[in-house]
Structure 1
Amino acid sequence: MYITIIWLPLLGSLISGFGGRWLGRYGASIFSTTCVISSFILSLLIFYEVGFCGITCQFSLLPWINAEVLLVRWGFLFDSVTAVMLVVITSISSLVHLYSISYMETDPHCPRFMAYLEVFTFFMLVLVTADNILQMFLGWEGVGLASYLLINFWFTRLAANQSAIKALVVNRVGDFGLGLAIFTIFYTFSSVEYLTIFSVTPFFQDYYFSFLQFKINSITVIGLLLFIGALGKSAQLGLHTWLPDAMEGPTPVSALIHAATMVTAGVFLIVRFSPLMEYSIFVLQILVIFGALTAFFAAMVGVFQNDLKRVIAYSTCSQLGYMVFACGLSCYNVSMFHLTNHAFFKALLFLSAGSVIHAVSDEQDMRRMGSLKKFLPLTYSVMLIGSLALAGFPFLAGFYSKDFIIEIAQALTNSNLNIAFSGLACWLGSLAVFFTAFYSFRLLYLTFINNCNMNRVNVNTTYESNLLILIPLIFLALGSVFVGYFCKDFFIGFGTDFWKVSIFNLPVHSNQIEAEYLQTKIKWLPFFLSVLGIILASFLNISSYRWYKKVKTVSFFAFLINKKWYWDSLYNKFLIRPVLNFGYSVSFKNLDRGFIEIVGPYGLIKIIPSWAGTLKHIQTGQITHYLFFTILGLCFFLIILFFPLTNYAIISLPFVLYIVLLFFI
């Protein structure tokens, strides 16, 4: 059962990809969907066995690398964190596969698309089930490859090519950090297996690396390198630029990869290495700072986006910030709880957006929509549920996890505990709540409620999607309503032993109890900010909002935020262009076409004929000349053979060269 859940998507991808011509569009789609649904059913059994029965399963299959100290096996670890990730991955993937059967039915390359989806699912399962960091890195790189293939699925579009390359290159920065982390872990612990590393981590608290007369704590270095890996994959501030551009791929890709599963791989990495992160206060502070800034920045930028999918993409980036700074506050279980809830309502939002785009002839600009609730009532209903869950409306999924993260930050800010930057996380997270509610309802107003801005042709062809698209939306809507309520006590309740040893907290970092003693009015702060954002969005969309265009300060900030704080422009100006100029002006023109070509092929073409022209003068036809050169060469050989490189030899060598040159002259 444990291995079957992994190889079923691989089997489905191979048969759907290579046998799609014979299976046909629907045959390949049905077979691949069946494989993923079977994996989902098995993941539920594993979740019951691991989560409810308290059994942790770890086993090794075959040796992979055996090089003296480095011994790596194909091993798998099924603990509570893995069981939760398996349910999330396979459930969302099953619904996306079912959704794609209808959404991609007009595409001639549908079997290839389904094969790519299953390749991604397979590598994601390898990532979360590995029992060593090297095997996890294999899955990590595999999902990056699958992401490139899926974003670039419509490879004839220039925007898709550029977005796929950008995602691949930006993620290489994070992958480089994770690769260095793997080398550092092996250098420190002489092992890459999780259980070995975590069991001996406390003994390496005072272990330091010496670099340029500086001593750096080894656990801090490893934690920072792991965070760089998570920075790229989970699109945190600085390496976030690839995520909004990745929306050029098909909408099911956005739902599966860039909302629910792949972008959460960085959060999973941090949670998995919680036994190591806990011993570095500096790394935890970095997590808090970057997570809080990402949550605030992405929520603010999402307010001024007009592309339907990009708004939801920046929302994903913001919610990932909440998960990361929850890990920085040592609340890894709360981060996993929010990861689980977020997977359902964010996949719901993306698939609902796909239903809208499918209905309005592939239009994605919200300003060219409006009044769609009359044509798409069910899509409007489920998207309203997803937006309310995202905004943290009471008793929906986001309310139980996101609000609890903010409560923990508030409690640590008001308490006497010396938790650095918890106040920053509290205020930036609270402001992000306001912006999240604002752009969520701005999206609803522009898309479904405001006056229609579509042309007559699109209005006459707008209709509700079929059941294969609506059924996944209904299931995700139910998950967005009930998952948070049913899993709250199980995941983050007091006295729960669900996580067991898969998540580690030092006693001094157990911060959740503080949130229960907050005043009620402070606990209601996120709700009031959400309501304020909803009211402001409603006011600006119902009434005339020409008045604020005259305010120069508002216009300036709107322009600045609409340009995404010029992150892409700064990267292009200070990083991309200097590298390209160096590559063209120095590397290409001077080295490739200059030095290498002169020394290499073009130089040999000129040098060899000139040498031949010089040597042919030696062929005089007189035997005395030939005897002279033979004796001269023999003398030169004997000098090198019998005389070491002393002063006499150094003096004799120029003498011999002088005779040779004199002869030629």
Structure 2
Amino acid sequence: MYLNIVFLPLFGSIAAGFFGRFLGGKGAGLVSILSVGLSWFLSCLAFYEVGLGGSPTYLRLMTWLESDFFHVDWAFCFDSLTVVMLFVVTFVSTLVHLYSMEYMGGDPHLPRFMSYLSLFTFFMLILVTADNFVQMFVGWEGVGLCSYLLINFWFTRIQANKAAIKAMLVNRVGDFGLALGIFGIFICFGAVDYATVFALAPQFSSFTLTFLNFEFEALNLIGVLLFIGAVGKSAQLGLHTWLPDAMEGPTPVSALIHAATMVTAGVFLLARCSPLLEYCPKALLLVSLVGGMTAFFAATTALVQNDLKRVIAYSTCSQLGYMIFACGLSNYSVAIFHLGNHAFFKALLFLGAGSVIHAVGDEQDMRKMGGLRRLLPFTYAMMMIGSLALMGMPFLTGFYSKDVILEVGYATYSGASHFAYWLGSLAAFCTAFYSIRLLAICFLAEPNGSRSLLLSASEGSWLMGSVLGLLAIPSIFIGYISRDLFIGLGTGFWGNALFSLPTHLSIIDAEFMPTSMKILPLCLSISGGFLSFLLHYKYNKNLFSWKISFIGRKLYTFLNRKWLFDKVYNEVINQNLLDFGYHFTYKSIDRGLIESLGPFGLSTSLLAQVKQSRSWQSGFVYHYSLVLVLGVILLGLFSLFSFSLSKVFGLLCLAAILIK
């Protein structure tokens, strides 16, 4: 059963990819949907057996790599953390597959698309079920590859090419850090399997490593390197620039990447490595700071974005910041709880956005929509549920995890945690503001788009509506149902899957924090949503007047251009590196030094010698005879001289023997 969970999506991918021409679009889609759907059903059984029944399962298939002390197995670990991820990934992936059958139904390359989706799911399952860091790295690189293929699915579009290459290159930076972290783990522990590394972690708290000719505390260095990997995949501040550009892919791709697969890999990595990170206090400090800053940065950037999918993409970046700083505060269970909750309402938002885009002729600019609440009432209801859950409104899924993260931040009583708490609270205000802004501009405002497109807008098929309805149910109820199981005081659900030192259990202190600090994020969310509704529905002319003022224009430009991160990267870093590469390494070294001393210089010398040798050819036979005679004489003299030397050497050796 357990191996089928992992390998059924691979079977669906192979069937759709290699036999899609014979199966057709619907046949390939049906095979991949059945494969992923069966994997979800088996994941439910695994969740019951492992999570609720408390029976972790470890499977070893065979030896993969073995060289001296380096030993890596193909092995799978199914514990509480794994089965939670399996349920979330396979459930969202199944619904995205179903949605794609209708959304991409008119595309002639539907079998290829379904194959990529199933392959994406397979590599994510490899990542979360791996029993060692090397096997996990296979899944890690696999989801990076599939993201490239899916973002670049419409490969005739230049922007899709650029976005896919950007996602691949930015993630390579994070992957390099993760690879260095795995190397450091092997140097310290002599093993790469989780069980050995986590069991030995306390013994290496005082161990040091030399890196770049500096000496560091080994565990803190490894923790930072692992976190760099998480920063790349989970789009944290600094390596976040690929995430909004990934919107160039089809909308189902955005839902799968942002809800359950690629961007959650970094959070999963930190949670999986919790027994190691607990002994890396400096690394955890960095994690909490970066997470808090990412939550605030992405929320402010989303305030002024006009592309429908980009607003939701930046909200993903912001919510990942919450999860990351929860991990930095050693509350891994709260981070995974929010990860699972976020997957449902974020998939609902993206697929709802896809329904809107599908209805208005593939238009993504919110300024060209408006008035859609009458034309798309069901989609409006679904987007409303997703937005309210994202805002953390009471009794919806987001409320039960997002507010707990902020409470934990305040209750930890450290400078970094309070820094993250206040930034997270401000981000909650911004989240409510841009969520209501999205609803107001798209659905409530007066129509602004093309008359022909708006008049032809209508709800999608029953299949797309069913997927949205199925996602709306957990977006409302799953937080309330699973709260006590995942983060309730005294719960034994996680077992040994997650580990926190007793001094880091701030979730208990959160129960006794001041009530004013508990309800502050909720008050900010409500006020942000109310203010946004007023400004965009009633006082939009006043808002426009403020936007075109001097200060408003500067602030709007700064936020709309994503805090100028792309400008700095392109003009300060990338352009200078390209100039250096061209003018120095290419023109001076490659074309200059190497070619002058290497093949180019050698060929020039030989050519000059050949040209000079032409003057030796006089055409007279007696000249050639003279050269031949001189050559024979020189050869004879050389032979005689070498023979005399050999005789002298032999006499010297004989004399030495006789003397002894």
TM-score normalised according to structure 2 size: 0.94
Residue 626 of structure 1 aligns to a residue in which SS?
helix
**Cα distance in 2, alignment partners of residues 573 and 637 from structure 1:** 69
Aligned match of 2:289: 289
Alignment of 1:84-483 (within 5 A): 84-210=84-210, 214-413=214-413, 419-483=414-478
Amino acid corresponding to residue 92 of structure 1 in structure 2 = V
Deviation, 1:140, is: 0.3
Q: What amino acid is aligned across from residue 558 of structure 2 in structure 1? A: L
Q: Could you tell me how far 1:595 is from its partner in structure 2?
A: 3.7
Matched-pair contact (CA < 8 Å) for 1:126–1:139: yes
**Cα distance in 2, alignment partners of residues 640 and 80 from structure 1:** 84
Q: How far is 1:601 from its partner? A: 4.9
Distance in 2 (CA, whole Å) between partners of 1:472 and 1:6 is: 23
Contact map agreement 1:92 1:344 (CA 8 A) in 2: yes
> Contact 1:255–1:350 at 8 Å: present in 2 too?
yes
Q: 1:559, 1:437 → 2: CA distance?
A: 21
The 2-side partners of 1:492 and 1:632 are apart by 97
Structure 2: state its 5+ residue gaps. Answer: 618-622, 650-660
Tell which deviates more after alignment, 20-29 or 258-267: 258-267
| Structure 1: distance between partners of 2:70 and 2:461 | 54
* Distance in 2 of aligned mates of 1:285 and 1:642: 81
Counterpart residue identity of residue 375, structure 2: F
What is the Cα deviation at residue 598 of structure 1?
4.1
Distance 1:607 1:453, change over 3 A: same
- Residue 92 of structure 2 contacts residue 259 of structure 2 at CA under 8 Å; is this kept in 1? no
Cα shift at 1:460: 2.3
Task: For residue 57 of structure 1, report the CA deviation from its aligned partner.
Answer: 0.6
Specify the SS of the correspondent of 1:71: strand
Cα contact 2:258–2:347 (8 A) shared by 1: no
AA at the equivalent of 1:405: I
Residue identity in the other structure for 2:7: W
Report the CA distance between 1:583 and its aligned residue.
Answer: 2.3
How far apart, CA to CA, are the structure 1 residues paired with 2:646 and 2:607?
Answer: 32
CA distance in 2, matches of 1:261, 1:239: 17
User: What's 2:577 paired with?
Assistant: 579
**Paired amino acid for 1:509:** H
- Per mean C-alpha deviation after superposition, the further-off stretch among 572-581 and 163-172 is 572-581
CA–CA distance in 2 between the matches of 1:565 and 1:639?
Answer: 85
| Residue 39 of structure 1 pairs with residue 39 of structure 2 | yes
Paired letter, 2:485: F
1:511 maps to which residue?
Answer: 506
RMSD of aligned Cα (Å):
2.1
Q: What displacement does 1:363 show?
A: 0.2
CA distance in 1, matches of 2:553, 2:604: 65
Moved more, 612-621 or 290-299: 612-621
Unmatched 5+ stretches in structure 1: 414-418, 645-665
Choose which of 627, 632, 636 in structure 1 pairs with 2:632.
627
Residue deviations 1:16-67, cap 9 Å, x none? 0010000001000011001000000000000000111100111210110111
Contact persistence 2:132–2:193 (CA under 8 A):
yes
TM-score (norm 1): 0.93
Q: SS at 1:421's partner residue?
A: helix
Residues 242 and 637 of structure 1, relative CA distance in 2, 3 Å threshold: farther
Letter in 2 for 1:586: F
Secondary structure (helix, strand or coil) at the match of 1:66 reads: strand
| Contact 1:260–1:346 (8 Å) recurs in 2 | no
**3-state SS of 1:9 partner:** helix
Provide the residue aligned with 2:78 in structure 1. 78
Q: Give the SS at the match of 2:63.
A: strand
Comparing 384-393 and 524-533, the one that deviates more: 524-533
Report the Cα offset of residue 215 of structure 1. Answer: 3.2
**Equivalence for 1:653:** none
User: Comparing 57-66 with 431-440, which one deviates more in the overlay?
Assistant: 57-66
SS at match of 1:569: helix
Q: In 2 relative to 1, CA 97–213 (structure 1 residues): closer, same or farther, beyond 3 Å?
A: closer
- For residues 453 and 638 of structure 1, the distance between their equivalents in structure 2, rounded to whole angstroms, comes to 104
- In 2, distance between residues paired with 1:588 and 1:352? 49
Relative to structure 1, is the Cα distance of residues 633 and 351 closer, same or farther in structure 2, using a 3 angstrom cutoff?
farther
- Partners of 1:478 and 1:631 in 2: how far apart? 102
What SS is found at the alignment partner of 1:502?
A: coil
- Who is 2:531 aligned against? 536
The answer for the alignment partner of 2:592 in structure 1 is 594
Shift in Å, 1:510: 1.0
Contact 1:387 1:441 in 2 (8 A): yes
Q: Deviations over 1:556-577 (max 9, x none)?
A: 2222111111100101122111
Q: Deviations over 1:622-645 (max 9, x none)?
A: 22332365468779999999999x
- Report if the CA contact (8 A) 1:298-1:318 is conserved: yes
* 8 Å Cα contact 1:285/1:420 also seen in 2: no
Structure 2 distance, partners of 1:593, 1:200, is 52
Could you tell me how far apart the structure 1 residues matched to 2:350 and 2:610 are?
72
C-alpha change, 1:207 and 1:444, in structure 2 (3 Å) is same
CA–CA separation in structure 1 for the residues paired with 2:93 and 2:41: 12
Alignment of 1:23-38 (within 5 A): 23-38=23-38
Q: Secondary structure at 1:516's aligned position in 2? A: helix
Separation (CA, whole Å) in 2 of partners of 1:261 and 1:636: 81
After TM superposition, where is structure 1 displaced by more than 6 Å over at least 4 residues in a row? 631-644
- Check the 8 A contact 2:247/2:254 in 1, yes or no: yes
Can you list the C-alpha shifts for 1:134-187, whole angstroms capped at 9, x where unaligned? 000000000000000000000000000000000000000000001101111001
Letter in 1 for 2:348: L
Task: Tell whether the 8 Å contact from 1:81 to 1:499 is kept in structure 2 after alignment.
Answer: yes
Give the whole-Å Cα distance in 2 for the aligned partners of 1:344 and 1:212: 43
Cα displacement (A) at 1:299: 0.1
8 Å Cα contact 2:389/2:398 also seen in 1: yes
Q: Which moved more, 1:537-546 or 1:563-572?
A: 537-546
Shift of 1:258: 2.5
